[in-house]
Structure 1
């Protein structure tokens, strides 16, 4: 056990050195980074360390233009001091309901410098979800964009409010809501003393089946970041385009890593596929961070539009957050080359596996292998280990970034110290992992186990289908049957019988959907996950 731990730590240090996160031979820099991480957490530490190493380099580019690392550090100092004067202290729970922009970034750093606990709210929340989460997490300070004002009507009046982004010249003047820019401009920006304790932050689950649960991140190890860098070649001093929202695990992980590496982070408040391509071109971005629906919208622009932009600087297209279909991954590879990195993880366990471009070429649809510091195992319903290639089992993950339980006290199932992801999958002969679907989405039809994702992947391979979702519905004779909900391509001439015959030609008969419904679009949340409870 000890030998394995030492080997893992040695490999992690090698990965961090190779990426530039540990600036050998400047060991003092590495020690300062570790100290900052322990004292103020990852957001503030990343800003402070980058400001010390590359003060005049551009750290952030958003809709309002560029900011250097030094400017980010000083502005977060000023905001932290302004909040401290208003009673924010270590342990205060501060929530951010913001799109991706400098106000959110500065809020994240300022919260860390004060030791406040930060809750990253989903910008797709409805009013009841926002109110429920704010009450459960004990939020006493709320930072938000003006466009979300109406959602705050269910938030108690004693919760302090601050505007991070305004859309008018006189924002909510009648309510006298403080604006972050004004607080920052009127407050001293000297560095602060270390807080008496670290605040940590809370990520929220997607909430596709109810109120999102809170997954706290109270302890973040510098060495654990090697889990991302081992199989994803981010490098110091480059440039990252962040398409995925920061409130989501995909976005926040790559945002922290990019800042820690001293990379310029490019972001926009709203995702637009062509604007993203232009941003990659203009900033010579080497990494593009997306959820699969964003990647699909980019690829769907077609060769003519894609050819207008020089994206040759891209070494990495980082995709995570939901399943990447073989068809979409292959189309992206054809458009951009061997740059697609498909990460599998969850809000609770962070990283599980990563498929490199080489893995994808060998086995389209794979989520790859565990990086350093991660373990993945499959178990059957009785808790017995599944080791045979091709045999499906429940996926369990061990990681230094795994959480210890939800903020409401609930926990995920564990076996042998490994955490359940709620998915089922199988390994192939080469040890590459494939996700077959959610454990609770498997249906039993006429005694046969069926995972809808297999049918979904087959359907979206058709050029006349934009997207598809497959669910189980009750059936008097078979217990359950499959139903396909399909979004056809513009101008496509499709009918239910055509699609049923297509599935029958490619899969077993019991996997053929009995029902097919055509819709204009699938219901999705802010990170692109299909809301299956609404489909049902």
Structure 2
């Protein structure tokens, strides 16, 4: 056990050194940066360290242009001082309801410098969800973009409000609610004293049903970055286009890593597939961070549009957040080359496995292998470990990044110190993991178990299908029957009989959907997950 732990530590240090997180020969700088993260959190520490390393280096680019790490560091100093003067202290919960832009990043760093707890709100919230989360998490300060003002009407009047991104020059609105940019410009930007303790931050679960749960993140192992860097070759001083929203685990993890490596991060408030390609070319981005629905919209632009932009600088297309179908991954590989890195994880466990381009070539659809510091084990419903290839079981993960329980006191099931992801999957003979679906989405029809992903992945292989979802609906004879909800390519005359015949010719009879409905689009949340309750 001790020998294994030492080997894991050595391997983690090697991975971080190779990425440039522990720079040679100034290893002391890297260690100082890691220690700073334990005091003021990753957002403030990364900005601060990068600013010291090179005050002229650009850290962030948004619609309003570039900001250096030094400018971001000074802006967050000023905002922290302004908030402190207004009564914000260590332990105050600061919620941010913002799209990706400079004021969001500034607020995240300022919260860390005060030791406040940062709560990343989902920009897709409905008004009741926002109010419920603000009440449950005891929010004291709420930073929001102007476009979300109406959503705040159900939030308690005792919550202080601040405007981040202002769309219009409305004097009344700007007078009633303080604007971050104005606070920053009018406040001293000297360094802020270290807080008495780390505030940490809270991610929210996807919330496809009901009110999302809060998953807090506090101090983690100094070796934790190796769990991403082991199988995703990010390198110091490069450029990341971050299309995935920062409020989501996918976006925030890659934002933290990119900033820690001193990479320039390019963001946009709203995703546009062609604008993304244009920015990749302009900034010579080496990494593109997406959720699968974004990747699909890019690939669906077609060869003619893709050929207009020089994306040869891309070494990594990082995809996470929901399942990447074999068809989409193969189309993306054909368009961009062997650059697809498919991460599997969750808000609760962070990273579990990563499929490298080599893994994907060997087994399209795989989510790969665990990186250094992670363990993935399958168990059956009686808690017995599954070791045979091809046998489906419940997925459990152990790592230094796993959370310790939700903010409301609940947690996920634990077996042998490993945390349940709520998914089921299997390993193939090469040791590569495949996710078969959510444990609670399994459909039992006539005594046979069906996981929707298998049928969905088959349907999207058809050139006349844009996307598809499969759900179970009540059936008097079989308990449940399968229903396919399909989005056709424009101009397609695909019908229900053809869909059923196609599935029947490729899968077992009990996996054929009896009902087929065609829609213009599937309902999804802000991170691309299908809202299956709406389909029902």
Q: TM-score, normalised by structure 1?
A: 0.99
Greater alpha carbon shift after TM alignment, 308-317 vs 175-184? 175-184
Counting only pairs closer than 5 Å after superposition, residues 53-202 of structure 1 correspond to structure 2 as 53-170=53-170, 172-173=172-173, 176-202=176-202
1:376 positional shift = 0.1
Instruction: Give the match for residue 506 of structure 1.
Output: 506
Instruction: Give the match for residue 423 of structure 1.
Output: 423
Instruction: Tell me, in whole angstroms, the C-alpha distance in 2 between the residues paired with 1:319 and 1:174.
Output: 38
1:220 positional shift = 2.8
Q: Within the alignment, does 1:16 sit opposite 2:16 as a pair?
A: yes
Instruction: Tell me, in whole angstroms, the C-alpha distance in 1 between the residues paired with 2:30 and 2:286.
Output: 24
Q: Deviations over 1:234-266 (max 9, x none)?
A: 000000000000000000000000000000000
Residue 477 to residue 255, structure 1, CA distance change in 2 (3 Å)? same
Instruction: Give the match for residue 239 of structure 1.
Output: 239
Instruction: Tell me, in whole angstroms, the C-alpha distance in 1 between the residues paired with 2:481 and 2:409.
Output: 36
Instruction: Tell me, in whole angstroms, the C-alpha distance in 2 between the residues paired with 1:435 and 1:171.
Output: 52
Instruction: Tell me, in whole angstroms, the C-alpha distance in 2 between the residues paired with 1:10 and 1:38.
Output: 21
1:459 positional shift = 0.4
Q: Deviations over 1:61-114 (max 9, x none)?
A: 001000001000000000000000000110000000000000000000000000
Q: TM-score, normalised by structure 2?
A: 0.99
Instruction: Tell me, in whole angstroms, the C-alpha distance in 2 between the residues paired with 1:160 and 1:513.
Output: 51
Residue 431 to residue 102, structure 1, CA distance change in 2 (3 Å)? same
Instruction: Tell me, in whole angstroms, the C-alpha distance in 1 between the residues paired with 2:161 and 2:429.
Output: 55
Instruction: Tell me, in whole angstroms, the C-alpha distance in 2 between the residues paired with 1:220 and 1:50.
Output: 20
Q: Deviations over 1:213-240 (max 9, x none)?
A: 0000012333101000000000000000
Classify the secondary structure of the residue corresponding to 1:436: strand
Q: Does the CA contact (< 8 Å) of 2:22 and 2:31 recur in 1?
A: no
Instruction: Give the match for residue 535 of structure 1.
Output: 535
Q: Within the alignment, does 1:254 sit opposite 2:254 as a pair?
A: yes
Instruction: Tell me, in whole angstroms, the C-alpha distance in 1 between the residues paired with 2:27 and 2:18.
Output: 14
**What root-mean-square deviation, in Å, do the aligned CA atoms of Structure 1 and Structure 2 show?**
0.8
Instruction: Give the match for residue 376 of structure 2.
Output: 376
Instruction: Give the match for residue 325 of structure 2.
Output: 325
Classify the secondary structure of the residue corresponding to 1:506: coil
Classify the secondary structure of the residue corresponding to 1:533: helix
Q: Within the alignment, does 1:289 sit opposite 2:289 as a pair?
A: yes
Q: Deviations over 1:350-369 (max 9, x none)?
A: 00000000000000000000
Instruction: Give the match for residue 491 of structure 2.
Output: 491
Instruction: Tell me, in whole angstroms, the C-alpha distance in 2 between the residues paired with 1:9 and 1:172.
Output: 56
Residue 172 to residue 520, structure 1, CA distance change in 2 (3 Å)? farther
Classify the secondary structure of the residue corresponding to 2:266: strand
1:34 positional shift = 2.3
Instruction: Tell me, in whole angstroms, the C-alpha distance in 1 between the residues paired with 2:127 and 2:147.
Output: 13
Instruction: Tell me, in whole angstroms, the C-alpha distance in 2 between the residues paired with 1:75 and 1:438.
Output: 43
Instruction: Give the match for residue 40 of structure 1.
Output: 40
Q: Does the CA contact (< 8 Å) of 1:116 and 1:199 recur in 2?
A: yes
Q: Does the CA contact (< 8 Å) of 1:343 and 1:367 recur in 2?
A: yes
Classify the secondary structure of the residue corresponding to 2:164: strand
Instruction: Give the match for residue 228 of structure 1.
Output: 228
Instruction: Tell me, in whole angstroms, the C-alpha distance in 2 between the residues paired with 1:171 and 1:383.
Output: 61
Q: Does the CA contact (< 8 Å) of 2:465 and 2:488 recur in 1?
A: yes
1:172 positional shift = 4.1
Classify the secondary structure of the residue corresponding to 2:224: helix
Q: Within the alignment, does 1:346 sit opposite 2:349 as a pair?
A: no
Instruction: Tell me, in whole angstroms, the C-alpha distance in 2 between the residues paired with 1:131 and 1:445.
Output: 39
Classify the secondary structure of the residue corresponding to 2:56: coil
Instruction: Give the match for residue 366 of structure 1.
Output: 366
Classify the secondary structure of the residue corresponding to 1:77: helix
Instruction: Tell me, in whole angstroms, the C-alpha distance in 2 between the residues paired with 1:174 and 1:80.
Output: 20
Q: Deviations over 1:404-462 (max 9, x none)?
A: 00000001000000000000000000100000000001111111111111000000111
Instruction: Tell me, in whole angstroms, the C-alpha distance in 2 between the residues paired with 1:255 and 1:283.
Output: 17
Instruction: Tell me, in whole angstroms, the C-alpha distance in 2 between the residues paired with 1:255 and 1:134.
Output: 24
Q: Within the alignment, does 1:265 sit opposite 2:265 as a pair?
A: yes
Q: Within the alignment, does 1:211 sit opposite 2:211 as a pair?
A: yes
Instruction: Give the match for residue 468 of structure 1.
Output: 468
Q: Does the CA contact (< 8 Å) of 1:41 and 1:220 recur in 2?
A: no
The runs of at least 4 aligned residues of structure 1 exceeding 4 Å deviation read: none
Q: Does the CA contact (< 8 Å) of 2:35 and 2:222 recur in 1?
A: no
Instruction: Give the match for residue 456 of structure 2.
Output: 456
Q: Deviations over 1:26-76 (max 9, x none)?
A: 122023112211110111111111111121011000010000010000000
Q: Deviations over 1:474-511 (max 9, x none)?
A: 11111111100011110001110010000000000000
Instruction: Give the match for residue 437 of structure 1.
Output: 437
Gaps of 5+ in 1: none
Q: Does the CA contact (< 8 Å) of 1:122 and 1:526 recur in 2?
A: yes
Instruction: Tell me, in whole angstroms, the C-alpha distance in 2 between the residues paired with 1:77 and 1:213.
Output: 31
Classify the secondary structure of the residue corresponding to 2:22: coil
Greater alpha carbon shift after TM alignment, 443-452 vs 171-180? 171-180
Classify the secondary structure of the residue corresponding to 1:456: helix
